[in-house]
């Protein structure tokens, strides 16, 4: 094996311009060249993990197989690289310091003064190399969170510089930068990017490639400007205009030979050319005809589209993967459940959808509205997929309205309820009492046995599956017989702990709730079976409707 290679992806000018997608796309491009690729996220936060961050500010918490609560970009890497990414590929400033401080407490520095430099960058490098070794990667891509010029990520850049100084031929730098087009000027401006490249220079880093993110294509004049003022050959300024579908990005970058140029820079050779599956995917997306209307009922929705899309990115992507596989384009509508608390009659509007999803969530807000929505879709045969909280609240709805347990609730909201349909085990109770919240939920992959003859089994066609979790509360087994009597089927059970993992409502065409988060495992090249099942049911409802309208 050649010496391992490292690509640092850093952001310039402003955040939220697609650094994660670029990192994932570079990975996909190199993977298609037959190389073993992995991707790391280095987050500047002091938080030890993303689990304690508000998803409306930081985006979705992406849970790995091995129980880590990470940044949403890890999800992008999994989707683009079509592989599991483990905890070793995620670090935060907090984690880095935590390790260094623990080491100091254990006298592992042999009496030396422990200092920010070099000890912090050294620990960052140790983590990068460990991830490389664990993944046996030819190429390790490291996405540095934040943008250049911030105090927050300077030590990650220092680590990168140190690695480069040792082996310049093994380390490349990609700057993902934003080129604004001020409305009144009407032309693309390169100056902020030039300034970002210079800021990197002052940290001892010369960029090798610039990914020019903008509303439109980079023209020749501006490509040359970037080349001259940022010190790169013009062909290494890569145009990356906005696209409708993120999965097109690898193709867009590859058209400009980013992959070959990166290999050349890193003195690596391609081993194969395996882009057929991805090309086929993009073609399928482009040629999808028809539509499916999915409503997503939840809370958090008062904050504008942008944060919303980030908070539920895996759910959105999973719906897309399933829709494209069925040859249709998905239209997602976000529905604020709180509205149904004030205007219960408006719940009727849900009849216009082909299927309804209630995603995961925490706390009181919107809960009674969600329960009203679930009741409506259950009673009207609208396909329903409840994810985690969406399963728990569905069980509460059925307990209240079908089993006549009027006070049914989750103890997350009412711990004095006489019918705790959703409760906690004693171990979790201890965590809650001790305010021990960080990293203590039931996290990561657990097995689940499926019951034959159920919607779940029809979707997976397998008796033993494994899915990822992130929850503290769980279904109270004492209520299983009562709910079974009114039509609930517990179709997925954790075999070791006898925990409810999947619950269905039999009298309904497709009503499935999962304690786990299937969306975390959906990939464009491997859509998730449950989302496919949900999509099939939604399309069947749609056809039925269209048919009804046309024969009216």
* Of 58, 254, 388, 508, catalytic: 388
Orientation angle between helical segments 154-166 and 116-134, nearest 10 degrees: 70
The closest alpha carbon to 214, from 184, 179, 253, belongs to 179
Q: How far is the CB of 388 from ligand GLN (least distance, A)?
A: 3
Asked if the peptide bond before residue 118 counts as cis, ω within 30 degrees of 0, the response is: yes
Which of 328, 367 has the CB closer to ligand GLN?
367
SS3 content of the chain, % helix, strand, coil (to 5): 45, 20, 35
519 noted as active-site residue: yes
User: Which of these ranges, 212-220, 315-323, 339-347, 466-474, lies near ligand GLN under the rule CB under 6 A?
Assistant: 466-474
Smallest distance from ligand GLN to CB 391, Å: 8
Least Å distance between CB 245 and ligand GLN?
27
Query: Least CB distance from residue 397 to ligand GLN, whole Å?
Result: 15
Minimum CB distance to ligand GLN smaller for 430 or for 452: 430
CB of 462 to ligand GLN, least distance (A): 24
- Compute the least distance from the CB of residue 292 to ligand GLN, in Å: 24
Q: Which of residues 373-412 bind ligand GLN (CB under 6 A)?
A: 388-389, 392, 412
Extract the tokens encoding 481.
Answer: 């017989």
Residue 59, sorted as left (phi over 0), alpha (psi -120 to 50) or beta, turns out to be left
Q: Are strands 329-336 and 474-475 parallel, antiparallel or unpaired?
A: unpaired
Q: What is the residue-wise DSSP string for 429-484?
A: HHHHHTT--TT-SEEEEEEEEEPTTSHHHHHH--SEEEEEEEES-EE-GGGHHHHH
For residue 465, which of 474, 456, 473 has the smallest C-alpha distance?
456
Kindly state the DSSP code that residue 146 receives in the 8-state scheme: E
Pairing relationship of beta strands 90-92 and 237-241 according to DSSP bridges: unpaired
d(CA 155, CA 151): 8
Of 41, 161, 372, 471, the one binding ligand GLN by CB under 6 A = 471
Footprint of ligand GLN on residues 410-429 (CB under 6 A)?
A: 412
Q: What values do phi and psi take at 303, rounded to 5?
A: -110, 15
Residues in binding contact with ligand GLN, number by CB under 6 A: 11
Task: State both tokens at 439.
Answer: 């990293």
Per CB under 6 A, contacts with ligand GLN among 77-96 are: none
467 interacts with ligand GLN by CB under 6 A: no
Here's the x/- map for ligand GLN, 356-375, by CB under 6 A: it reads as ----xxx-------------
CB 15 within 8 A of CB 146: yes
Which of residues 300, 473, 479, 516 is near ligand GLN by CB under 6 A? 473
The helix/strand count (H/E) of the chain reads as 20, 21
Question: Which of these ranges, 16-24, 175-183, 196-204, 468-476, lies near ligand GLN under the rule CB under 6 A?
Answer: 468-476
Residues 6+ apart with CB under 8 A from 342: none
Q: Which residue is nearest to ligand GLN (CB)?
A: 360
Cβ proximity to ligand GLN, 214 vs 391, nearer residue: 391
Q: Which is nearer to ligand GLN, 402 or 470 (CB)?
A: 470
Q: Which is nearer to ligand GLN, 470 or 521 (CB)?
A: 470
Mark residue 390 as left, alpha or beta (left: phi above 0; alpha: psi -120 to 50; beta: remaining): alpha
Is 390 strand, coil or helix? helix
230 counts as catalytic: no
Rounded least distance, CB 63 to ligand GLN, Å: 9
Q: Nearer to ligand GLN by C-beta: 361 or 529?
A: 361
- Interface with ligand GLN, residue 472, by CB under 6 A: yes
Give the binding range for ligand GLN (CB under 6 A) out of 157-165, 315-323, 445-453, 471-479: 471-479
| CB 392 to ligand GLN: min, Å | 6
Report which of 355, 401, 404, 402 is spatially closest to residue 381, judged by C-alpha positions. Answer: 355
Question: Which residue lies nearer to ligand GLN by CB, 12 or 492?
Answer: 492
The residue from 58, 119, 471, 517 that is catalytic is: 517
**Residue 298 lies near ligand GLN (rule: CB under 6 A):** no
Nearest distance from C-beta of residue 101 to ligand GLN, angstroms: 30
388 is catalytic: yes
For 169-231, the DSSP string reads GGEEEEEEEE----TTT-S---HHHHHHHHHHHHTT---SEEEEEESS---HHHHHHHHHHHT
Catalytic residues: 388, 517, 519
Binding site for ligand GLN (CB under 6 A): 360-362, 388-389, 392, 412, 470-473
């Amino acid at each position: 094996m050649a010496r391992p290679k490292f690509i640092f992806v850093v952001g310039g000018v402003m955040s939220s311009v697609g650094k994660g997608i670029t990192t994932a796309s570079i990975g996909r491009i190199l993977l298609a060249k037959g190389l073993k690729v992995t991707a790391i996220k280095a987050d500047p936060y002091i938080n030890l993990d993303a689990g304690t961050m508000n998803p409306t500010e930081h985006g979705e918490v992406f849970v790995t197989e091995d129980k880590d609560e990470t940044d949403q970009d890890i999800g992008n890497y999994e989707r683009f690289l079509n592989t599991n990414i483990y905890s070793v590929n995620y670090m935060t400033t907090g984690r880095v310091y935590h390790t260094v401080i623990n080491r100091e407490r254990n006298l592992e520095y042999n009496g030396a003064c422990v200092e920010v430099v070099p000890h912090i960058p050294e620990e960052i490098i140790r983590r990068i190399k460990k991830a490389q070794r664990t993944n046996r990667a030819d190429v390790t891509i490291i996405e540095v969170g934040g943008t250049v010029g911030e105090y927050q990520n300077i030590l990650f850049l220092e680590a990168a510089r140190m690695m480069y100084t040792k082996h310049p031929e093994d380390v490349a730098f990609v700057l993902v930068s934003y080129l604004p087009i001020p409305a009144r000027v009407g032309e693309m401006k390169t100056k902020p990017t030039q300034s970002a490249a210079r800021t990197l220079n002052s940290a001892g880093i010369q960029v090798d490639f610039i990914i020019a993110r903008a509303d439109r294509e980079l023209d020749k004049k501006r490509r040359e400007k970037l080349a001259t003022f940022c010190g790169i050959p013009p062909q290494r300024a890569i145009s990356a205009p906005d696209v409708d579908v993120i999965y097109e990005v690898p193709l867009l970058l590859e058209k400009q030979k980013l992959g070959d140029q990166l290999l050349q820079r890193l003195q690596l050779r391609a081993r194969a050319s395996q882009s057929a599956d991805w090309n086929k995917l993009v073609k399928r997306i482009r040629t999808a005809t028809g539509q499916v209307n999915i409503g997503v009922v939840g809370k958090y929705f008062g904050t504008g589209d942008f944060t919303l899309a980030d908070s539920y990115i895996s759910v959105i992507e999973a719906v897309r993967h399933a829709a494209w596989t069925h040859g249709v384009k998905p239209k997602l509508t976000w529905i604020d459940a709180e509205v149904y608390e004030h205007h219960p009659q408006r719940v009727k509007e849900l009849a216009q959808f082909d299927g309804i999803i209630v995603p995961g969530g925490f706390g009181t807000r919107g809960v009674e509205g969600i329960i009203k929505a679930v009741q409506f879709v259950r009673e009207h045969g609208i396909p329903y997929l409840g994810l985690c909280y969406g399963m728990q609240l569905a069980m509460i709805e059925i307990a209240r309205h079908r089993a006549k347990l009027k006070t049914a609730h989750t103890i997350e909201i009412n711990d004095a309820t006489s019918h705790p349909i959703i409760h906690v085990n004693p171990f979790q109770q201890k965590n809650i009492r001790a305010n021990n919240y960080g990293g203590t939920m039931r996290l990561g992959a657990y097995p689940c046995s499926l019951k034959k003859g159920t919607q779940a089994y029809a979707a997976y066609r397998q008796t033993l599956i494994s899915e990822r979790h992130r929850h503290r509360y769980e279904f109270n087994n004492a209520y299983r017989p009562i709910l079974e009597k009114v039509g609930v089927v517990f179709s997925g059970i954790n075999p070791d702990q006898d925990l409810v993992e999947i619950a269905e409502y039999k009298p309904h065409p497709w009503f499935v709730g999962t304690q786990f988060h299937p969306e975390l495992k959906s990939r464009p090249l491997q859509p998730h079976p449950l989302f496919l099942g949900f999509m099939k049911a939604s399309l069947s409802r749609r056809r039925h409707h269209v048919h009804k309208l046309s024969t009216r």
